[in-house]
Amino acid sequence: MYDIIIIGAGITGTMLARDLSAYRLKVALIDKENDIANGTTMANSAIVHTGYDPKEGTLKAKLNVTGARRYEQICRDLGCKYKVVGAYIAACGEDEEEHLKILEENAVKRGIPYEYLSGDEARREEEHLSDNVTRVLNFPTTAVIYPWEVAIACAEVAVKNGTDLFLNEEVASIDKKENGYTVHTSSHDFETRMVINAAGVFTEKIAAMVTDDPGFHITPRRGEYYVLDQDARYVNHIIFPVPTPVKGKGVLAVPTVYGNTLIGPNSDFVEDLDDNGTSDEGLAYVRNNIGKTMKDVPLYRSIRTFAGLRPTSDRHDFVIEEAKGAPAFVNAASIESPGLASAPGVSQYIIEQFVKKYFDLQENPDAVMSREAPVILSELDEEARNELIRKNPLYGRIICRCEQVSEGEIVDCIRRVCGARSVKGVKKRVRPGMGRCQGGFCEPLVLEILSRELHIKPTEVVLDSVKSGILESENR
């Protein structure tokens, strides 16, 4: 019997799993995919918003601020990238400048640092800022992260502290019992006293397993992006247009932690909960709208496009509450942007409001909340590299030429707790395939290493989800 089952190993579920692992609780984290963070946490702008944007009085506003304040320390503890780049909200003309005042008021109330720049001052820092930009509100403490890196690291810590992780387990139905729930997945029946539903765009579907009235309706809102080559080095800060109620935060230019630039997203409702492919219309919207704040956008340096689904609901706020008629069944639903930035706040809120209601929390004396980060060869100086290669020659064999990733790093990321089980799993952890060639040279080698390390046939190695086989059959 579990105390708590968390459904969904995105940033919401994994952050909560890590925080809960500080206590003496029997916790399971379940996901239908073969890896951590294969849902919305995999495809977004990766910004730790400081909390100036959400409407006053909303849960989003409260948890964004508390979440963002915890992030830097969490990333330090987990050895994850946290790069403070600053966010420029770029106004074009008097009407938009007027709107900056609302964001400024929010920032003052919430204790968020900010400063104003004239259009010319901002252009001195950002040479590609459009000449139409007249004033900029800068939030200098805004950071970018690698969202799935944080989620994987949280899961790793939680598992080391005793959490059971079940991947490839799709929750198919849930029975209400007198003192808890039975969660039925594709291959197990789990008994638990409490359920936290953190299933992203699928939260309504999961909630409907225990209640006739989930109290919210999710319609995914798709966002699509271009990824520019690292060498393009297009922006230093995140550049936002002034937000609008209809199109949200608008089309941005975002420097990533590894120096690529994201251009996007659009914001289009879709019906299908799995519809995370890009579209001609969506990308055209991005191309046509980035010019509002930016000029000379080098879209010809694009190496990839991708899309993510925001779990948008009709409640226009995070919905974190017990399901109607289902005590100790907590929905963490409608966690759209700034859900990534808010995750540490969401986790604390769930523990304070709901977990403490049902459990007398005792600290787990053996819990270790930090982890040793994986080695990134390309970030070491020559002496440290040579030392590593002397100890383990696999670090001397470069598999990904674009990102300079060695076989040693790939093997380590497969063998670690919560290790990679797919080509994309390896790519998420140590980046082969993230560069200009997008895996053209390294993918067959990564496939071979996965096959060897997991003791499976090359034909059994998958690209991403369990159904995404790569090789059809063996030839002579």
Ligand X SMILES: Cc1cc2nc3c(=O)[nH]c(=O)nc-3n(C[C@H](O)[C@H](O)[C@H](O)COP(=O)(O)OP(=O)(O)OC[C@H]3O[C@@H](n4cnc5c(N)ncnc54)[C@H](O)[C@@H]3O)c2cc1C
For the segment 367-426, give every residue that binds ligand X (CB under 6 A).
none
Binding mask 306-335 for ligand X (x = CB under 6 A): --xxx------------------------x
For residues 264 and 408, which CB has a smaller minimum distance to ligand X in the complex?
A: 264
Applying CB under 6 A, among 9, 87, 210, 328 the residue interacting with ligand X is 9
CB of 203 to ligand X, least distance (A): 8
Does 265 participate in binding ligand X (rule CB under 6 A)?
Answer: yes
Separation CA 353–CA 340 (nearest Å): 20
For the segment 79-138, give every residue that binds ligand X (CB under 6 A).
none
For residues 223 and 435, which CB has a smaller minimum distance to ligand X in the complex?
A: 223
Does 202 participate in binding ligand X (rule CB under 6 A)?
Answer: yes
Applying CB under 6 A, among 80, 159, 253, 340 the residue interacting with ligand X is 340
The one-letter amino acid at 203: T
For residues 60 and 135, which CB has a smaller minimum distance to ligand X in the complex?
A: 60
Sequence-separated (6 or more) residues with CB below 8 Å from residue 174: 181, 182, 183, 184, 195, 206, 209, 210, 329
| Cis check: omega of the bond before 220, within 30 degrees of 0 | no
Does 46 participate in binding ligand X (rule CB under 6 A)?
Answer: yes
Which segment (135-143, 193-201, 291-299, 443-451) binds ligand X by CB under 6 A?
193-201
CB of 403 to ligand X, least distance (A): 23
Does 32 participate in binding ligand X (rule CB under 6 A)?
Answer: yes
For residues 307 and 375, which CB has a smaller minimum distance to ligand X in the complex?
A: 307
Does 44 participate in binding ligand X (rule CB under 6 A)?
Answer: yes
Does 150 participate in binding ligand X (rule CB under 6 A)?
Answer: no
For residues 130 and 347, which CB has a smaller minimum distance to ligand X in the complex?
A: 347
Separation CA 406–CA 431 (nearest Å): 10
For residues 147 and 408, which CB has a smaller minimum distance to ligand X in the complex?
A: 147
- Catalytic residue annotation: 49
Binding site for ligand X (CB under 6 A): 7-13, 30-33, 38-41, 44-47, 49, 170-171, 198-200, 202, 206, 223, 265, 308-310, 335-341
